Copies of this chain bind each other. A is one copy, B any other.
Amino acid sequence: MFTSEKEYLKHYNIHDYDVPLVSVDIAIFTLLDGKLHILLVERADFPQKGRWSLPGGFINQQQDKDLHATALRKLTEKTGVKTPHLEQVATIGNAKRDPRGWSVTALYMGLIPYAPTADFIETVADARWWPYEVAIKQNLAFDHIELVTQARERLRVKSGYTVLPVYVLNAPFTLTQLQQAFEELLGTEIEKKSFRRRIQAADLLEEVGEGLPEGGRGRIAALYRPKKGSEQHAFIRAFGGSEED
């Protein structure tokens, strides 16, 4: 049909094809008053006007060099927050999730220390931190309840074998604060000594003096911050023993 790649590309037109919608949605979590919160926006326009949803939106082919950039841009535009950790969770695509037609969305999950949302926001009616347990009882837009649940599950599982929870704390923090963050994100209690042993063995934190957490009582505590490059450390040994050291 075509004689060369060049020839083929000259005649290629995406509008000849039946393409799905493609969007990005971002589930951002933080800790506020010791409780897990999630950032939602209220939709200002159709479809699903007035309902709460994850921040997200469409790719801008001129502005975004890749999907990750789309996620960061949409998050900032719609909520005013910036995240130190953002990872892809999954991509959900099917015929029914959006009334406009076959739709694909790339779901991202991020963690940040608590920060207020921006006052003036384009294209959304409101942006607000919701306690997680309250958020999932809302009648969220589209299939966002499932997206939220998937992101929460990723957060829970990954908190079991990485230091992800450090991203919801402002450094410096005490080990007890860190343990409480782990416990809230994991949804389970951790034994103090086991926790400290594992954190110490991982060698991911550096001490930066001592102090009391705000409003704290009792003995003064050592303060820590994450070491550079501690991002991807996994605690747990897989088959074959440790590669390090």
Give residues in A with beta carbon < 8 Å to B.
Answer: 1-2, 4-5, 7-9, 12, 14-15, 17-22, 45-49, 58-61, 64-67, 70, 88, 90-95, 99-102, 104, 106, 157, 159-161, 182, 186, 188-190, 194-195, 198, 235-240
Nearest opposing residue in chain B for A160, CB measure: B238
Decide: B239 and A186 in contact? CB cutoff 8 A.
yes
Which of B49, B101, B106, B195 is within 8 Å of A61, CB to CB?
B101
Number of copies of this protein chain within its complex: 2
In the bound complex, residues from chain B placing their C-beta under 8 Å from that of A159 are 239
The CA-CA distance from A66 to B96 in the complex, in Å, is: 9
> Measured between C-beta atoms, what is the minimum distance from A194 to chain B in Å?
8
The CA-CA distance from A188 to B238 in the complex, in Å, is: 11
In the bound complex, residues from chain B placing their C-beta under 8 Å from that of A161 are 236, 238-239
Decide: B8 and A46 in contact? CB cutoff 8 A.
yes
Nearest opposing residue in chain B for A62, CB measure: B18
In the bound complex, residues from chain B placing their C-beta under 8 Å from that of A157 are 238
Decide: B93 and A90 in contact? CB cutoff 8 A.
no
Name which of A58, A66, A101, A188 has the most chain B CB atoms within 10 A of its CB. A66
> Measured between C-beta atoms, what is the minimum distance from A206 to chain B in Å?
22
In the bound complex, residues from chain B placing their C-beta under 8 Å from that of A104 are 22, 59, 67, 104, 106
